[in-house]
Amino acid sequence: MAKRYSTSTVKPDGTLVPWLATEGPLAYSPENPPTSSYFFQYGWLMPRVYSDRRHYYFGTPSSLSRREVDWSIQPFVDFWSKAQAGAVARIYVREGERHADRFTSPIACYRYQTDFENRDTYVLIQHGSYLTIDVAEQPFLKDGLLVLFRGVGNKTSFSWRDWDGDLSPDESAILQRYFEVQERAFSDSEVSFQVAHAGVYRCETGFVQWKISWTDLAREIGFDPEKNSPGRQLTSAYQQSFRLLELTAAWKFVPNYVKCTTPVNNVRITSFFAGESEVRVIDPRKVEIVAPRLDTSTYRTLCRLNVGQVKRPSFSGSDGKWGFSAESSF
């Protein structure tokens, strides 16, 4: 099936929008919502991702019949219904942009009250991928900061190279090429959607026809993920998934997990239609490790960085126990 509409997300000034397109029918946003549910049916909008003729609303096999809406897409249907009624609040819209020494991802954040249970909810939007989160779960999101959770299983340490400090000319060149790959991966929503979810092999995603992955783009650009140590480290950091819900981390990442923070425009939404609240981190330098709660819980870990020291965050959690120095241990 031929693609009917442009899915380019690149503006004339080179910045990247978080919507499905920069112009045309797919350039819709919560302030300018589509008039037809047709524009939520990815099987028609992204023919390289979905090769059959089934309905894939918001990326998953589903129906928008009046009798029943599939539970997996109910939050997104609810959000756009509220958007059409003007009942959503824009928190911010961040456009993606690459500079010589950094890249920021395009992403939008809105707040609304759900129809079911009347929950106060954030929704993150990025090239057709969505995440809905209770406002209480991410208290710093309004300020542009995400709290992330990364499981380490039975390990008692967590190593993370932050890439701060002086880099060699070769390392700087590798980092710039890495950001070039990220820019390319966000420059088209159909490509972006595939890159976001390629390799996430779950029963809920088996229907997706992956044509391209992040590694494919990297090799096209000339960034070899396996050629040298810096390239392997950057690729490894990007391939790690972080959760946005601590409750999920508590039961899924047993026995140990760590808390991190990063700017909201430093993430890639992934596996959302598999019922997961997961993201991947783009720039490892913008990840800050913070201490887990020092209580009797078994969900504890000692965080250790390969480079640099752990900094105390400028905020504290509700229990007042976040933050520790590089010398702290527990």
92 - beta bridge partners? Answer: 109
User: Given this model, what pLDDT does residue 305 score?
Assistant: 33
> Which contiguous run of DSSP H or E holds residue 270?
strand 267-270
Give this prediction's pTM: 0.84
Residues 6+ apart with CB under 8 A from 136: 120
H or E segment and range at residue 44: helix 42-45
Determine the straight-line distance between the first and last CA of the chain, rounded to whole angstroms: 58
Assign 23 to helix, strand or coil: coil
Inter-residue contact 284 to 298 (CB < 8 Å):
no
Instruction: Give the separation between CA 298 and CA 249, rounded to whole angstroms.
Output: 12
How would you write the pLDDT of the chain (330 residues) with one tens digit per residue? 567 899 999 999 999 999 999 999 999 999 999 989 899 988 888 887 776 667 778 877 777 765 566 777 888 999 999 999 999 999 999 999 998 889 999 999 999 999 878 899 999 999 999 999 999 999 999 999 999 998 877 777 777 877 767 788 888 889 999 999 999 999 999 999 988 887 665 555 556 666 678 888 999 999 988 888 888 889 888 988 899 988 777 776 667 788 899 999 999 998 776 667 899 999 999 999 885 543 333 333 333 333 223 333 332 333 332 222 232 222
In this predicted structure, what is the pLDDT of residue 71?
72
C-alpha span between 224 and 231 (Å, rounded): 7
Domains of the chain, residue spans: 25-303
